[in-house]
Structure 1
Amino acid sequence: MGVKMRVGSWNMYNDIWHSVREATESITPTRFKSGSRVKFLRDRFSCTPFDIMCLQEVSPVMIPSLQKECSYYKMTLVAPPQSTLTPNSNNCCVLFDKKFKLLGKKHFNLSEAVSTHLLRYAHQGESDIEDAFIKELRMRTSMATMLLLELPQTKTLLSVCNCHIHWNPAYADVKVFHTFLIVKELFHFVRSALERFPFVPLLLVGDFNSTPRLCAVQIALPTLLASNCLSQHLQGPVADNQLSGVYELITTGRLPTKHPHHPAELRNDEAFLRYPDLLVDPFQSAFKEKIPFVEQVNGAEPEFTNKTTTFSGCIDFVFFKGLIPLSAKTVPEDLGKSEVLPNGKIPSDHLLLASEFFLV
């Protein structure tokens, strides 16, 4: 027997973190109290309850409020350890219905993952640019929270990975490698928790800070870093329909060294030819998959999930393996073309993603 489940993903907009960046970059701040974001979630739970909700950019001050909401809606909250929280930290939290039993959890450790999966390819000390890349991989922040859940009545398993990939568009290769490391660690986490590793359905969701397709303008990294106009390079027309590095890696399971977002191409240095093509088990997209006789599934990613005065595009995704997608939509669905985020209705610069699956 199977069960229908509703999955959500939302970048809540950490106003503390953004206020620091805005002050650094002289951006006019737009602030919304954390209570308005909790209320937005509460309204969603009241209308259509979720079985799993993945949240990104959760500030530490919001965690007690989320715990209170979880108690009311009979959900469990998994947040990073208190010892790792700082006032302006972004955190990935997962809320799940108490009908699920938590079998295991893992908070992604970026530095350990670099050591585990990449140092055998790197030749530290032989190439300054390669040393710099390894250093950047460790210092540019990407986060993930991984869970292994069970429905006790049927012994059905489900693994959830909620992630938030580094934001800076200048570091497309760093984003790709962070995504690669998170997916590798997800599979290692599941295999370690289940020694015989029967097939486990997987959810890989969150804010990937990458659009599905490449922009038309491809600029060498040093030039892009020196530019103050990053947003204009993000908003050009797509180039030959080529997938972005992050999206290609996740949906095809492979990123060749010739891809524009591989450091061998982006940094234009032969030192990175030592790195092999990146390989992972591929995922499907809840929005893109079109299921016969199920009209709700779109057959395409949303036009946008993030919409501000400087950028509009799809950078949030719900990927899956071993599940049957039933529906996928953004919330709210009626955002006007002239509206930007955050605003009085939506206290974040991201839309909420809502997907339904059949878990067997």
Structure 2
Amino acid sequence: MTAPRRYALIERQVIEFNQVALGKAEMRTEDMFNRVMSKDNISVACLLESTTTDSRLVVANAHIHWDPLYRDVKLVQVAMLIEEIEKLREQFARFPPKPPKDCGNGGGAGVGKRPFSRYQDPSHIAAIICGDFNSVPHSAVYEFLSEGTVAADHEDFMTHQYGHYTNRGLYHKMGLKSAYAHIGELPLTNYTPGFEGAIDYIWYTTSTLAVTELLGEVDKQYLSRVVGFPNAHFPSE
């Protein structure tokens, strides 16, 4: 016997960062064309609705460009990711609620009626953003996600020009926190002969969600017996 679904999938969208960049006419700089649009990284975002309470949730899984020589691209991709998720929350807030179970069953006047939308403010829709950000905790990507802002002259832009991103800086008001920030982040989520460190994260909106439990770090004895981590037995995202 299968367990009942807790959330129903309302909509799924693929966010292609090079296509998002292409649509930003005010930011079509040479660096945007040569450095960002040439990368094929994506994110998948799902709009979910609780089957019991009708509460809504946006869950996104992202894979950000890997190369440390392109930390400006990582930052631009994450900035676009947050903008797209904020747009999705605004759209989702306007979606009408699903029809009540008794709709059309001959109920009396007013039975089962709901307002057009219970979400007058998109920020009330919870969000989880997870994935491989290929960025360590002292990076601009981490700073932007956790603090909500990055200065226009941040060193991770590497003097490249990205329109208002590098004219005014980055800003968001999602109120995100890394799930593992409670313990100061994991020592590592990636382990290779040439690198070990934390680059994978689970971010959540603190105004609507809370962490209740966490998995511990990767067992060091296990790491001593494998070539790298993540691997086929323990994928990253």
> For 2:136 and 2:65, how far apart are their aligned partners in 1?
13
Counting only pairs closer than 5 Å after superposition, residues 1-360 of structure 1 correspond to structure 2 as 98-116=5-23, 118-122=24-28, 130-195=29-94, 196-198=120-122, 199-213=124-138, 244-262=139-157, 266-267=158-159, 275-281=167-173, 282-289=175-182, 298=183, 300-321=184-205, 322-330=208-216, 333-336=218-221, 339=224, 341-342=226-227, 347-348=231-232
> For 2:165 and 2:154, how far apart are their aligned partners in 1?
12
Secondary structure in structure 2 of the residue aligned to 1:120: helix
Conserved? CA contact 1:104–1:148, under 8 Å: yes
CA deviations over 1:145-201 (Å, ceiling 9, x no partner): 001111121112111010010111110000000011011101111211322444111
> For 2:146 and 2:160, how far apart are their aligned partners in 1?
25
Conserved? CA contact 2:21–2:32, under 8 Å: no
Q: What TM-score results when the alignment is normalised by the length of structure 1?
A: 0.52
Shift of 1:351: 6.3
Secondary structure in structure 1 of the residue aligned to 2:156: coil
Q: Matched residue pairs, number? A: 208
- Cα RMSD between the aligned structures? 3.0
Conserved? CA contact 1:163–1:208, under 8 Å: yes
Secondary structure in structure 1 of the residue aligned to 2:77: helix
Q: Which amino acid aligns with 2:177?
A: Q
- Per the alignment, do residues 323 and 271 of structure 1 end up closer, same or farther by CA in structure 2, a change over 3 Å counting? closer
> For 1:257 and 1:346, how far apart are their aligned partners in 2?
34
Q: What TM-score results when the alignment is normalised by the length of structure 2?
A: 0.76
Superposed structure 1 runs of 4+ greater than 6 Å apart:
268-273
Identity of aligned residues (%): 21
Secondary structure in structure 2 of the residue aligned to 1:288: helix
Secondary structure in structure 2 of the residue aligned to 1:105: strand
Conserved? CA contact 1:143–1:164, under 8 Å: yes
Shift of 1:134: 2.7
CA deviations over 1:227-255 (Å, ceiling 9, x no partner): xxxxxxxxxxxxxxxxx111011001111
Runs of 5+ unmatched residues, structure 2: 95-119
> For 1:142 and 1:101, how far apart are their aligned partners in 2?
27
Q: Which amino acid aligns with 1:324?
A: A
Q: Which amino acid aligns with 1:328?
A: L
CA deviations over 1:94-148 (Å, ceiling 9, x no partner): xxx83211111110022331134x43144xxxxxxx4143332111122100011
Conserved? CA contact 1:147–1:160, under 8 Å: yes
> For 1:182 and 1:273, how far apart are their aligned partners in 2?
13
Shift of 1:273: 8.4
Q: Which amino acid aligns with 1:105?
A: R
- Per the alignment, do residues 330 and 349 of structure 1 end up closer, same or farther by CA in structure 2, a change over 3 Å counting? farther
CA deviations over 1:41-89 (Å, ceiling 9, x no partner): xxxxxxxxxxxxxxxxxxxxxxxxxxxxxxx977xxxxxxxxxxxxxxx
> For 1:162 and 1:209, how far apart are their aligned partners in 2?
13
The structure richer in strand per residue is 1
Shift of 1:324: 1.0
Q: Which amino acid aligns with 1:103?
A: I
> For 1:288 and 1:259, how far apart are their aligned partners in 2?
23
Q: Which amino acid aligns with 2:18?
A: S
- Per the alignment, do residues 350 and 312 of structure 1 end up closer, same or farther by CA in structure 2, a change over 3 Å counting? farther
- Per the alignment, do residues 280 and 270 of structure 1 end up closer, same or farther by CA in structure 2, a change over 3 Å counting? closer
Runs of 5+ unmatched residues, structure 1: 1-71, 75-96, 123-129, 214-243, 290-297, 354-360
Equivalent in the alignment of 2:111:
none
- Per the alignment, do residues 270 and 192 of structure 1 end up closer, same or farther by CA in structure 2, a change over 3 Å counting? closer
> For 2:199 and 2:77, how far apart are their aligned partners in 1?
15
Equivalent in the alignment of 1:89:
none
